[in-house]
Chain A
Amino acid sequence: MRFIAWRMLTGDRPKYFGLILAIAFSTFLMSHQMSIFVGLLDRTRSQIRDVQDASVWVMDPKTQYVDEVRALSFQDLYYVRGVEGVRWAVPLLKSVARAKASDGTFRNSILLGVDDASLTGLPQKFLAGDWRALRLPKTVAVDRVGYEYFIGKPPYQTGQELELGTQVVRIGAVVDASPPFVNLPVFYARFSEALDMTGREPRQLSFILAKAQPGVSEEELCRRIQAATGLKALTSSAFGWDTIWYYIRNTGIPINFGITILIALMVGALVSGQTFSLFILENMKYFGALKAIGVTSRRIVGMILMQAVIVLAIGYSLGISLTALFFELTKDNLDLRGFRLLPEVMLLTGGLVFVVVLMAAIVSVRRVVVVDPALVFRG
């Protein structure tokens, strides 16, 4: 009977390909939208993720997320360094400065001031130049967005000058930084240089980055710092999630994207479910004939489920491949950086499409099992 089920499915090529394309389209729609959503939320914590040397972030107790900063004092930095279990602690400045190229092009940019001595907080992948360039006075590293906006397309080179805040600086390195939530250029400078660029103020320390001593867990260190200093201390992971949740709770992005994903899901469910139901409906009289001939309902159910699994497997594979191809083709597009197809999205989409097609198959199976004999005899 598997042979008959296979031939019934593939015999009518337009319907067969229509079914596969419907499921592929639904899969693409859902996986693409979910990937964009997840990528967008992931972008909100990109600057946290880029700091790979430190594992603990210390901040003002009322800080909610990475982009809203209340400055700390250097006294706080010394307090943190004095907490038992802290291996080292360094300052990090996060500020916004206006950058201006020699041709007058200007744009607000994110300026990150990293520890003068250790350069903790500087991305570790360099596209041009290297970390040593930041040792030079009035020298910065810029990310790809900033370089291509102010200087031009690759190949990336160093040595160009531009205004950053109050200073004229030289580009000493181009780094491959993760894209921020708002696709602004990102500049990195030594902490002391960054203070000069933004204009010195009494309290100019955005975060303190710390590392635990061997044998002290990150969570334990956070508890100790909070208890000793009254400041908020979070692991990189926890701070990243706090930032994501801030955006989920306080912006319309998740709601609007959630609606979009829901619509994609509904459209996908309707298209693939309806197409499969129609396919079964159009074959109803043949299933009815098989039933009359003596094929048991169980075997007919098996035939329909086999047909569902075949179109599901092919349609899903095609759809998910299209999504993967989309992100592969757009990976070098600066505006689409950070968006990618995650295994979790693949699994979730697969689960949703499976449930939709399975439900359509179950509804169709029910129709076949209780098929009206008159349909069988009247054709």
Chain B
Amino acid sequence: MSDSKSEFNQDGAAVVCRGVQKAFGSGPSRLEVLRGVDLEAHYGEMTFLLGPSGSGKTTLLSIIAGLLKHDEGSVRVLGKNLSKLHNGEASLFRLQNIGFVFQQFNLIPALTAAENAAVPLLSAGWRRKDAIDQARRLLSELGMAHRADVLPNKLSGGEQQRVAFARALIQSPRLVICDEPTSALDGPTGRHVMELLRKIALNPDRAVLVVTHDFRILEFADRIAEINDGVIQKVTAAKGVS
């Protein structure tokens, strides 16, 4: 698998969705969740996917992540059509190129903060000590050096989110997907982690896609795509973003 920049979309989009359709079930119980979604997430930008519950955000996210196959349309992520990859290839692609921040963080309770952050490196075959050392360095950058050996249940929500960021960024992925990153946090903490995310995650070679329905954090977006009823209703660019 090649992930060289030559394969990247020429117009600078890390994610390009065109006419994506997805339905579940069949016959009378068939439910069309995505009905022709067009979406782009660009390098060097934070793209927010905004929509109410049931609008198709999670389904679209799962398709972009390569965890779900779409029925119609095309999806290119970092220049790759993930639906054409075998499961093993898609897993390796995710491991090397995509960082995930989950709504409930999904930190493994039995692992310390540093061990949790090191999971992608361990999955990639790093030696345990090297992986955990690397995780400690990243946690230090996130102001979590003193909490690196603490189990998740002893961490606050904001601290857990920072560990989740470290886990998402430790492989220097080109795409970071954040699913409702502030939904489990209070307002000030949510703002703080978004500031942190913007600071550490954004760079010209990386795109950040944030799924949210938290209007309090929209100010951090470079581009907002509003989805409703399985269709992108409107895409708004922030000031200074073309």
CB <8 Å contact, B104 and A379 = yes
**Interface: B238 (CB within 8 A):** no
CB <8 Å contact, B123 and A377 = no
Cβ contacts A350-361/B at 8 Å (1 or 0 each): 000000000000
Contact flag A11-B91 (CB < 8 Å), given A1-B123, A373-B65, A378-B58: no
CB <8 Å contact, B94 and A292 = yes
**Interface: A203 (CB within 8 A):** no
Tell me how far the C-beta of B65 lies from the nearest C-beta in chain A, rounded to whole angstroms: 6
CB <8 Å contact, A294 and B106 = no
CB <8 Å contact, B95 and A3 = no
In the complex, A301→B91 CA distance in Å? Answer: 14
**Interface: A286 (CB within 8 A):** yes
**Interface: A317 (CB within 8 A):** no
| CB-defined contacts of B59 to chain A, threshold 8 Å | 374
**Interface: B45 (CB within 8 A):** no
Contact flag A289-B123 (CB < 8 Å), given A373-B58, A377-B61: no
CB <8 Å contact, B119 and A7 = no
| CB-defined contacts of B167 to chain A, threshold 8 Å | 293
In the complex, A294→B122 CA distance in Å? Answer: 11
Contact flag A294-B67 (CB < 8 Å), given A299-B123, A377-B103: no
Query: Which residues 97-143 of A sit at the B interface, judged by CB distance below 8 A?
Result: none
Query: Which residues 331-375 of A sit at the B interface, judged by CB distance below 8 A?
Result: 373-374
**Interface: A151 (CB within 8 A):** no
CB <8 Å contact, B110 and A379 = no
In the complex, A297→B93 CA distance in Å? Answer: 14
CB <8 Å contact, B122 and A4 = yes
* Interface size range on B against A: 20 to 34
Query: Which residues 71-104 of B sit at the A interface, judged by CB distance below 8 A?
Result: 87-88, 91-96, 98, 100, 102-104
Query: Which residues 37-78 of B sit at the A interface, judged by CB distance below 8 A?
Result: 58-59, 61-62, 65, 67-68
The tally of CB-CB contacts under 8 A between chains A and B is 98
In the complex, A379→B164 CA distance in Å? Answer: 13
CB <8 Å contact, A296 and B128 = no
Cβ contacts B103-139/A at 8 Å (1 or 0 each): 1111011110001000110110000100000000000
CB closest chain-A residue, reference B105: A379
In the complex, A160→B13 CA distance in Å? Answer: 104
**Interface: B226 (CB within 8 A):** no
CB <8 Å contact, A296 and B67 = no
In the complex, A299→B120 CA distance in Å? Answer: 13
CB <8 Å contact, A7 and B67 = no
CB <8 Å contact, A376 and B67 = yes
CB <8 Å contact, A292 and B110 = no
Contact flag A289-B95 (CB < 8 Å), given A298-B88, A377-B179: no
In the complex, A8→B151 CA distance in Å? Answer: 12
In the complex, A285→B93 CA distance in Å? Answer: 21
| Apart from the given pairs A292-B102, A294-B92, A373-B62, 10 other A-B contacts in the complex at a CB distance below 8 Å | A7-B108, A7-B115, A286-B109, A291-B67, A293-B95, A298-B88, A374-B62, A378-B103, A379-B104, A379-B106
- Interface residues in chain A, defined as those with a beta carbon under 8 Å from any beta carbon in chain B: 1, 3-4, 7-8, 10-12, 285-286, 288-299, 373-374, 376-379
| Contact sample, A vs B, 7 pairs, CB 8 Å cutoff | A4-B122, A11-B109, A294-B92, A294-B95, A297-B88, A373-B62, A378-B104
